[in-house]
Amino acid sequence: MTNNQPAKLAVNNTGDYRDNYANSVQVRPGLWDFFLVFGIANQTAPDVVNISNFQGVYLSPQQAKALANLLNQNISQYEAAFGEIRLEPAQQPPSGDRIIQ
């Protein structure tokens, strides 16, 4: 007889766990993974934006796609409750990395 109940999930934070705010995410795709670099963008002049990166996270392609699906679901729910999220046009960095601000 098989048990069709889902496994119990226990979530624990490690000793070095930290919460941070990011308004900049750079995505660097590779052959085996995606590298997400989180930071804080600060516009110091009309033509100058400084980004201070504080955390990088590697995700497998499967986890990256699962994250994208989860974010899309949550964004749809957020917009249904609070209205459409509008994005300003963002410039592409010269290196080809994708920066989300």
Structure confidence at residue 13 (pLDDT)? 95
Structure confidence at residue 51 (pLDDT)? 95
* Mean of per-residue pLDDT scores for the chain: 89
Where are the chain's structural domains?
A: 24-100
Structure confidence at residue 88 (pLDDT)? 80
pLDDT tens string 47-85: 999 999 999 999 999 999 999 999 999 999 999 999 999
C-alpha 26/C-alpha 90 separation (Å) is 12
Overall pTM surpassing 0.75 (yes/no):
no
Between the two ends of the chain, the Cα-to-Cα distance in Å is 51
What's at 11, amino acid-wise? V
The DSSP letter of residue 6 is P
C-alpha 15: how far from chain center: 22
Query: What's the count of helices (H) and strands (E) in the chain, helices before strands?
Result: 1, 4
